Amino acid sequence: MGKFLVRRVSRAVFVLLVTSFGALVAVTEWGDPFRMIGDRMQDPQTRALLNETFGLDKPLFFRYLDFIANLATGDLGVDYERRRPIIDLITAVAPNTFRLALTALAIQAVFGVTLGIIAGWKHRSFVDLAITTGSVVLLSIPLFVTGVTLRNTVTDISLFGWQPFPPIPRSFGLETTWLQDLALPAITLGMGGLVFTVILTRGSMLEVLESDYIRTARAKGLTERKVIFKHAARNALIPVAELSAIQLGALMGGSIIVETIFQYRGLGFLFARSMVENNHPVMLVVAAYSVVIFVVVLMLADIVTAWLDPRIRVD
Which pLDDT score, from 0 to 100, does residue 245 have?
A: 75
Range among 12-16, 48-52, 106-110, 250-254 rated most confident: 106-110
* pLDDT (tens digit per residue) in 265-313: 888 888 888 888 778 888 888 888 888 888 887 787 777 776 656 655 5
In a domain, 24, yes or no: no
Mean per-residue pLDDT, 111-140: 89
The reported pLDDT for the residue numbered 3 is 76
Say if 36 falls within a structural domain.
no
H/E stretch holding 126 reads helix 126-139
For residue 242, pLDDT over 80 is answered with no
Average pLDDT, the chain: 80
What pTM did the predictor assign?
A: 0.78
Chain centre distance of CA 13: 20
Q: How many domains does the chain have?
A: 1
Residue 269 belongs to some domain of the structure = yes
CA distances from 87 to 50, 244, 251, 285 (A): 21, 28, 20, 9
pLDDT digits (tens, 9 = 90+) for 177-212: 778 888 889 999 888 888 888 988 888 888 888 887
* DSSP symbol at 85: B
In a domain, 216, yes or no: yes
Q: CATH code at 116?
A: 1.10.3720.10
Q: Which residues pair with 78 in a beta bridge?
A: 85
Taking only the tens place, the pLDDT of each residue in 106-124 is: 998 889 888 988 888 888 8
11 part of a folded domain: no
Asked whether residue 6 is assigned to any structural domain, the reply reads no
**Contacts (Cβ under 8 Å, ≥6 apart) of 131:** 115, 116, 118, 119, 198, 202
Q: Judge whether 125 lies within some domain.
A: yes
Q: How far is CA 41 from the centre of its chain?
A: 40
Residue 60 or 105, more confident: 105
**Whole-number pLDDT of residue 162:** 66
The per-residue pLDDT for range 33-82, each reduced to its tens digit, is 666 555 555 667 766 776 777 677 777 788 888 888 887 777 777 887 77
Measured CA to CA, the distance from residue 182 to residue 194 in angstroms comes to: 18
For the cut 60, the answer to whether the pLDDT of residue 315 exceeds it is no
Question: What average pLDDT does the segment 257-265 reach?
Answer: 88
Mean pLDDT value of segment 133-145: 87
Report yes or no on 45 lying in a domain.
no
**Secondary element (H or E) of residue 217:** helix 212-219
**Which domain does 183 fall in, by range?**
93-313
The reported pLDDT for the residue numbered 29 is 66
